[in-house]
Amino acid sequence: MLSKPDEHGKFGIFGGKFAPEVLMTTVEELEAAYNTFSNDKGFRTELDSLLSTYAGRPTALYFAKNLSEMSGSKIYLKREDLVHGGAHKLNNTLGQCLLAKHMGKRRIIAETGAGQHGVATAMAAAVLGLECEIYMGTEDIERQKLNVFRMKLLGAKVNPVDSGSKTLKDAINESIRDWVTNVENTYYLIGSVVGMHPYPLMVREFQRVIGKETKVQIVDAEGRLPDTIIACVGGGSNAMGIFYEFLDDAAVELIGVEAAGKGIETGEHGASICEGTDGVLHGMYSKLLQDADGQIKQTYSFAPGLDYPGVGPELAYLAESGRVKMGSTTDEETLNAFKILSTKEGIIPALESAHAIHYAIEEAKRKSGTQRDHLIVVNLSGRGDKDIYTVAQVLGDRREEGYV
Amino acid sequence: MTLEDKFKELKAQNEKAFIGFITAGHPSAEATSEIALAMIKGGVDILELGLPFSDPIADGVTIQRASESSLSAGMNTDLYFEVAAGIKGVEKVCLTYYNLVLQRGLEQFVHDCESAGITGLIIPDLPVEESKPLLKACAGHETDLVFIIAPTTTEKRMTKILELASGFVYVVSLLGVTGERARLSDAVRPLIGKIKDLELSRDRPQIPLAVGFGISKPEHVRAVCAVADGAIVGSAFIKMIEERAGPELGDRKALLTEIEAFTMSLKQETKNTR
């Protein structure tokens, strides 16, 4: 069932091109350029070389022995946190920057929430000699200072966005406005499997390398495919990246984990598939967190990469069809998993990825004691250096309250 | 009256259309009715009433701020139609984003437009490719789906758009979002020329062309009306409302006088343009 969009860029009813007319010609050009270059041998060779010699691929598939022992199933971690820059984001930005360069666009713009996509874009733009401007909500700038500074060091200009909720969705709005204005020389580099066609397809294809490597590595290590693959879901790029290669392997359970924030019942969360309804935002028909009129709701997660009211259309489609199962994890549970992975395995995960770690530990406990070892692969999509301030703040507050 | 009839009527009087945009509910639902009345007194031909969306990607900061203030003051889709229905004596079109139409249900939204006397719908994030379901919902109703043509629109796309267009075509004058600009974009004249050439090669009456984005001054309106059938002014009104709409009734009165005078000065430029 390898899902491909149809000629209108739709996965079932999801996806499409709900873009302002001024962008439509550019979107058509992008689609044509992507179709040409993705099949071009020279382009592939150049990208593969960057991925291996610059990004550090393939990344390791690590057997988390201590985590496995404490939870009762075998847990492997796909170490995307080891990609240059500290997250899977570079896989996509290298691909798209290379595409932009081949298309003759000299200026790259991008939005960022956690700052990881911004950093990855700034890196790819630097190495390929392109100009780079990043839009970021002021709320996110405040909680991701480290990444803001990294982007600046990498030569990118960071444009603060002070409208709306001052987070990722508003940074996307502002990027689209810049794109609309400078469409002739500017390439808009979307960081997740969201937006108008062909972005969801293109980003998934550039991230697909995660699943391809995982498949080979797990068979090497265990002689079989995993029982379960777990990934966190904000827009869905790391999830689609690892899931896609396994879609046709019906026995492999695929689970996406959304941000339950302060708890689903509080309404302060980012669980667009679990709690959302169908609608159109940022160029795509997908699952959205919205009110009855269709106004987009404010989302919340302490992991800025999951703080988004929509999700990639292909993932919405796969979840609705039942192929991908969805779950959610609160801030509190995530923080616990963050501490466990740090102290038991010596790996500080990104708060986004720690959502998946929590779900994996719980899943491992549920499946422990089955006849053969239950085999779980978690996509550890990023490392947690960027989150240490957030975590310190949360822990600090609690100390005052006497929790820790 | 249909939108095309309105353009015809104006043409018979040797006038072009002056189209004014305001965001419903900015700064309040009550004020919107008063502001609309001032615009009508000033001679606005078509009132473009924005139904605010939380994430207006085609709009600049001015309209985004107005949308945010309107929504936080309690504007919603039900209230919008109430306000719209109360405004009489002018042609009305609704500008909003597709998600709001979708959530109400396409048929229901079109039905509510018709009940409120709204004869046109402008949806900036609904390109011709995705427009089929809404076009179907509009069929048989007196509500036209107004399409947009931009400077980047290729001839192939223009042909497709002109085939499906009704009411009028909204010609975006520049690359960018809505908002005031010091001078009129140079792209307008050649763009209108290109559309007209395409229209001439087709065997059907020409559809009216109204130009928007970056038009804020009487001289812009005159220049636009020399080549097109109408001019659209939005952000300049919003800015005026934002700056002058104080909490006191006295402030409101001064604003309304100013809106009326501004409308009149813009409408004047649509007369005797040939």
pLDDT tens profile A97-133 = 999 999 999 999 999 988 999 999 999 999 999 999 9
Give B248's pLDDT tier (boundaries 50, 70, 90).
low
pLDDT at B246 over 70: no
Taking one residue from A and the other from B, the number of pairs with CB-CB distance under 8 angstroms is 123
pLDDT at B184 (0 to 100): 82
* Lookup: tokens for A312: 């990639």
Determine the Cα–Cα distance for residues A45 and A276; give it in Å rounded to an integer: 40
Contacts of B129 in chain A (CB under 8 A): 8, 16-17, 24
pLDDT at A404 (0 to 100): 37
Decide if B152 and A183 are in contact by the 8 Å CB cutoff: yes
Q: Which of B165, B41, B143, B166 is nearest to B94 (CA)?
A: B143
pLDDT at A397 (0 to 100): 66
Determine the Cα–Cα distance for residues A195 and A117; give it in Å rounded to an integer: 15
Q: Do the beta carbons of residue B119 and residue B2 sit within 8 Å?
A: yes
Decide if B53 and A280 are in contact by the 8 Å CB cutoff: no
Q: Which of A48, A38, A381 is nearest to A210 (CA)?
A: A381
Beta-ladder partners of A380: A79
pLDDT at B247 (0 to 100): 56
pLDDT at A398 (0 to 100): 62
Q: B interface mutation test: which of A28, A29, A180 has the most B CBs within 10 A? A: A180
* Lookup: tokens for A24: 């439509």
pLDDT at B182 over 50: yes
pLDDT at B100 (0 to 100): 98
> Catalytic residue at B107?
no
Identify which of A8, A22, A296 has the shortest CB distance to residue B54. Answer: A296
- The nearest CA of chain A is from the CA of B95 a distance in Å of 13
Residue A249's identity, in one-letter code, is D
- The nearest CA of chain B is from the CA of A129 a distance in Å of 26
* Lookup: tokens for B144: 């036209």
pLDDT mean across residues, chain B? 93
* Lookup: tokens for A366: 């549920």
pLDDT mean across residues, chain A? 95
CB-CB neighbours of A220 under 10 Å: 9
Of A232-246, B5-19, B250-264, minimum mean pLDDT range: B250-264
Find the closest chain A residue to B68 by CA distance. Answer: A164
Q: Which residues of chain A are under the pLDDT cut of 50?
A: 402-404
Identify the active-site residue in B5, B15, B34, B48: B48
Q: Which of B175, B153, B172 is nearest to A181 (CA)?
A: B175
Contact A10/B at CB under 8 A:
no
- The nearest CA of chain B is from the CA of A171 a distance in Å of 11
Determine the Cα–Cα distance for residues B212 and B148; give it in Å rounded to an integer: 10
**Exposed/middle/buried for residue A251 (C-beta within 10 Å: 0-12, 13-18, 19+):** exposed
Q: Which of A153, A50, A151 is nearest to A110 (CA)?
A: A151
Helix axes A145-153, A116-127, angle to 10 degrees: 10
Element (H, E) at A161: strand A157-161
Determine the Cα–Cα distance for residues A85 and A95; give it in Å rounded to an integer: 15
Of A389-398, B14-23, B27-36, minimum mean pLDDT range: A389-398
pLDDT at A227 (0 to 100): 98
